[in-house]
Amino acid sequence: MNRKTLDRALKALNSFRIETPSWGYADTGTRFGKFFQDAAAIDLNDKLADAGQVHRLTGCCPTVAVHVLWDFKKGEDPKAVARRARKHGVRIGSINPNLFQDQCYKWGSFGNPDAAVRRRALKHCVDSIKIARAVESEYLSLWFADGTNYPGQDSIRARKKRFEDGLRACHKKLAPGMTMLVEYKPFEPAFYQTDIGDWGMAYLLAKKAGPRAKVLVDTGHHYLAQNIEQIVAFLLDENMLGGFHFNDRRYSDDDLTLGSIDPYQVFRIFHEIHFFAADRGKMPEIAYMIDQSHNEKPKIEATIQTVVMAQELYLKAALVDHVALRAAQARNDVVSAELELKKAFFTDVSPALLAWRKKHGLPADPLKEHRRSGYERKAAKERKARRITLGITQGGSYA
Ligand code: PSV
Ligand code: MN
């Protein structure tokens, strides 16, 4: 890598931050069961400590996404939570209201036919905005499980109208400087129609909600053959791309670690962002976030692996020669244009990453350093003992 390329790479890395999710540090599973880990976080303090460990080693994860219902106990002082986060070297990032677990949401939240439930959902969002204000978070991140399971179950248009009203009302309550992210998902838990089923629906609803509503792209929330980078390019061009939930998948919303299945797709997504920035002369403001659950891998290791992969792919995409690419496009030279992408994708960026880490006093190999630190072993011992004290039982056995 020559000096100029290295400088470009280092500059790109300086501006890259990725948020880790609190729920990625806790025990998770599938609907068929959970396999527990002694080192998994028990409470929000553990999650923040684990996020702190990831940030200390990688230097690019200063914020943690929180899920209001899972992370905030009733009556918990959000300012105290923000202080605790700072103690662990991180800040609270996006605030995710939970509009899907309470029994009242059986028929939906913002899409529910019952106005009283819709009001309750809105109130929960307003409470979440208050939390955001208290912890100085800029993002309210909305995902709705709303939808129906059978044809004819409810009026699709009536549900759309309820969403338009709910999101507009929520947008009105945003604190100054806040952005509202609207996430889409084609199915699960609803299996006939999801009220915000794709990027077009999310775009339309965000547009109608107000100027501070943007679309959130969760890479796992697409049909298999969908061209995600094209969606990203469209949203960028319309100034409607708010953020990402990164994860990888082989089949559906599998929540596998980023780049474990298809790193080239992530590269292509990052390429669209760098290409857009080169054309506009400015990087767009995007909230890069991870949304994964690690059922078999140790959680911190999986998170570090993800962050390092994201940095590598972001960096590779930053190396695309835009001048050469535009020239190849202008002469319809398909092969050369494609090769420009391939050349960057196959560039070994490890020297640049090493140089960046060295410059910032970070370990050369964050995963190796994490394993060496003994953090996992200590956490497992302490959390196992605490579970016994608290009377938390994990799973069952065949014994
Ligand atoms: C739904 O599948 C989702 O992607 C939403 O972002 C939720 O907040 C998150 O997963 C919960 O794990
Ligand atoms: Mn998500």
Q: Which helix (H) or strand (E) holds 64?
A: strand 63-67
CA 70 to ligand 2 centroid distance, Å: 15
C-beta separation of 266 from 313 below 8 A: yes
357/134 Cα distance (integer angstroms): 33
Q: 376 CB under 6 A from ligand 1? A: no
Ligand nearest to the CA of 289: 2
> Long-range CB contacts (< 8 A, 24+ apart) of 359-368?
359/10, 360/59, 362/57, 362/58, 362/59, 363/57, 366/57, 366/58, 366/304, 366/307, 366/308, 367/301, 367/304, 367/305, 367/308
Q: Whose CA is nearest to atom 11 of ligand 1?
A: 291
* Ordered DSSP codes for 359-370: HTT--SSHHHHH
CA 382 to ligand 2 centroid distance, Å: 31
* Domain assignment of residue 346, yes or no: no
Q: Whose CA is nearest to atom 9 of ligand 1?
A: 291
Give pLDDT tens digits along the chain (399 positions).
Answer: 778 888 888 888 999 999 999 999 999 998 898 899 999 999 999 999 999 999 999 999 999 999 999 999 988 999 999 999 999 999 999 999 999 999 999 999 999 999 999 999 999 999 999 999 999 999 999 999 999 999 999 999 999 999 999 999 999 999 999 999 999 999 999 999 999 999 999 999 999 999 999 999 999 999 999 999 999 999 999 999 999 999 999 999 999 999 999 999 999 999 999 999 999 999 999 999 999 999 999 999 999 999 999 999 999 999 999 999 999 999 999 999 999 999 999 999 999 999 999 999 999 999 999 999 999 999 999 999 999 999 988 755 554
Q: Which atom of ligand 1 is least distant from the CA of 216? A: 6
* Domain assignment of residue 244, yes or no: yes
By C-alpha distance, which of 315, 241, 330 is closest to 271?
315
Residue 396: per-residue pLDDT:
52
CA 15 to ligand 2 centroid distance, Å: 23
Q: Which atom of ligand 1 is least distant from the CA of 293? A: 12
Q: Spell 81-120 as b/e; 16+ CB within 10 A means b.
A: bbeebeebbbbbbbbbbbbeeeeebeebbbbbeeeebbeb
Q: Spell 365-388 as b/e; 16+ CB within 10 A means b.
A: bbbebbbeeebbeebeeebeeebe
* Domain assignment of residue 345, yes or no: no
Residues facing 26 on adjacent strands: 41
Place of tokens 């090493």: 354
Q: 194 CB under 6 A from ligand 1? A: no
* Domain assignment of residue 333, yes or no: no
* Domain assignment of residue 10, yes or no: no
Q: What total number of domains does the chain contain? A: 1
195/99 Cα distance (integer angstroms): 13
C-beta separation of 45 from 316 below 8 A: no
By C-alpha distance, which of 347, 351, 336, 287 is closest to 313?
347
Q: Which two tokens stand for residue 129?
A: 């905005």
Q: Whose CA is nearest to atom 8 of ligand 1?
A: 143
* Ordered DSSP codes for 117-178: HHHHHHHHHHHHHHHHHHHT--EEEE----EESSTTSS-HHHHHHHHHHHHHHHHHTPPTT-
Q: Whose CA is nearest to atom 7 of ligand 1?
A: 143
Q: 356 CB under 6 A from ligand 1? A: no
Q: How far is CA 139 from CA 130, 173, 302, 354, in A?
A: 12, 13, 25, 32
Q: Which two tokens stand for residue 177?
A: 């400087």
* Domain assignment of residue 395, yes or no: no
CA 344 to ligand 1 centroid distance, Å: 32
* Domain assignment of residue 387, yes or no: no
Domain range for 55: 16-319
C-beta separation of 121 from 137 below 8 A: no
* Domain assignment of residue 172, yes or no: yes
Place of tokens 């960096």: 315
Residue 395: per-residue pLDDT:
58
CA 74 to ligand 2 centroid distance, Å: 24
Residues facing 193 on adjacent strands: 148
Q: What's the CATH code of the domain at 313?
A: 3.20.20.150
Q: Which atom of ligand 1 is least distant from the CA of 23? A: 12
CA 143 to ligand 1 centroid distance, Å: 7
CA 83 to ligand 1 centroid distance, Å: 26
